[in-house]
Amino acid sequence: MNDLNFTAVVNNIDITGLNKFLNAGTAIDIDDNRPKAVVKFYLDIEAREWGIKSISAIIQSVTAEINWSVSDDELSGDDIATLVKAGGKYYKGDNIEGKIIVDSKEVIDGKEWKVESELKMQESGQLMASEVSINLITKEIIVS
């Protein structure tokens, strides 16, 4: 049975490894501007003659758009060059802004994304994606 498809927009996102992903020093304060993720999943119901044996949430894909920005107040010329090389646009005297698109179906630098589902049926009967953790370095996504 595969007719229970869902698309959830998740606002509670935790991003790990943003500085390293952008090759920026750890002292640089990079704002991830509250990213959102879209999680597509379906419920797989294993039914028997006597009833339901199990219900599993199977994640099909996770996409996220991470809009990042850095104030150029205390950045060196090398820091600015590194962030521009990482895809940022420099607005002189203001900040550097960039965008990272995460798509769990894409391969980046020869690595596939590992997606882990921690979706579980709640006591109230709810089952929904409410949090997404994205590690840009290890290419891991956890949906809970």
Kindly report each contact of residues 91-96 with a partner whose C-beta sits within 8 Å and lies 24 or more positions away, as own/partner.
95/69, 95/70, 95/71, 96/69, 96/70, 96/72
Q: In the β-sheet with 114-117, what is the strand arrangement from edge to edge? A: 13-16, 132-135, 140-143, 114-117
Half-sphere exposure of 83 (CA within 13 A, CB side): 29
Please state, in angstroms and rounded to a whole number, the distance separating the CA atoms of residues 50 and 70.
58
Provide the residue-wise pLDDT of the chain in tens; the chain has 144 residues.
447 899 999 999 999 999 999 999 888 999 998 899 999 999 998 999 999 998 899 999 999 999 999 998 878 889 999 999 999 999 877 899 999 999 999 988 788 999 999 998 888 988 999 999 999 999 999 999
Q: Map residue 9 onto helix, strand or coil.
A: strand
Instruction: Give Cβ neighbours of residue 35 (< 8 Å, ≥ 6 apart).
Output: 13, 15, 64, 65, 66, 67
The reported pLDDT for the residue numbered 1 is: 42
Question: Which helix (H) or strand (E) segment is 18 a member of?
Answer: helix 18-21
Retrieve residue 72's tokens: 């150029």
Buried b (16+ CB within 10 A) or exposed e, 119-139: beeeeeeebebeebbbbbeeb
User: Could you tell me the sign of the dihedral formed by the alpha carbons of 136, 74, 12, 36, in that order?
Assistant: negative
Its pTM stands at 0.88
Identify the burial level of 55 via C-beta atoms within 10 angstroms of its C-beta, where 0-12 means exposed, 13-18 middle and 19 or more buried: middle
